Chain A
Amino acid sequence: QKEVEQDPGPLSVPEGAIVSLNCTYSNSAFQYFMWYRQYSRKGPELLMYTYSSGNKEDGRFTAQVDKSSKYISLFIRDSQPSDSATYLCALQTSGSARQLTFGSGTQLTVLP
């Protein structure tokens, strides 16, 4: 079993829809939670960064973390065609060995 499991998609939604992207994890040592967006042939771009359970909002994006269930989500409101990309969750432990462990990514297409 992988440390981080991400819904594989692909996901296709109409413009204006609410999108929900999810990851589950098994390692309780993960303390920091990130969502990256990656456009085709580009490097990942940091979207959201949280280090506690609860919700964090930034514009149309909301990151949700439930440490008790080991479940994280990214919600995109009023989705736009420009949101079409691959979304990767990334988790990080605390301490000296703080490398990122990525989910496999969900490919999202927002249709105009």
Chain B
Amino acid sequence: KAGVTQTPRYLIKTRGQQVTLSCSPISGHRSVSWYQQTPGQGLQFLFEYFSETQRNKGNFPGRFSGRQFSNSRSEMNVSTLELGDSALYLCASRFLRDQRTDTQYFGPGTRLTVL
């Protein structure tokens, strides 16, 4: 079974621009979560989508948004980029059926650099 895929893998943008990242979950997984990873703050939860609805949100400003499509693929958008948005953005998927077994599986991440 193919793992979680993320595109693009690397991205360079300038301040003020916006960016859209894409995530395809493991086949059959209906939940997609997004995380930001930086050396200073570590891995921080952004939001989770399930059946095209945001079911949970972390403590990030409104510039960070996302959506999920009917095929469970998800996109994350960051508007008005700031230097501090430079990070590895990770997507994780899970089936979300049994809380004792529905662990999250991560993709390789998109490394965003804001200049």
Q: Which residues of A contact B (CB under 8 A)?
A: 32, 34, 36, 41-46, 49, 51, 88, 94, 96-105
Q: Which residues of B contact A (CB under 8 A)?
A: 4, 33, 42-45, 48, 55-56, 58, 90, 92, 99-100, 103-109, 111
Can you name the residue of chain B whose Cβ is closest to the Cβ of A96? Answer: B55
Question: Does the CB pair B58–A99 fall under 8 Å?
Answer: yes
Cβ–Cβ < 8 Å partners of B111 in chain A? 41
Cβ–Cβ < 8 Å partners of A101 in chain B? 45
Question: Does the CB pair A43–B103 fall under 8 Å?
Answer: no
Q: Cα distance A99–B54 when bound, in Å?
A: 12
Contact partner, B43, options A46, A88, A96, Cβ 8 Å: A88
Question: Does the CB pair B104–A46 fall under 8 Å?
Answer: yes
Q: Cα distance A7–B111 when bound, in Å?
A: 26
Question: Does the CB pair B45–A43 fall under 8 Å?
Answer: no
Cβ–Cβ < 8 Å partners of B43 in chain A? 44, 88, 100, 102, 105
Question: Does the CB pair A46–B108 fall under 8 Å?
Answer: no
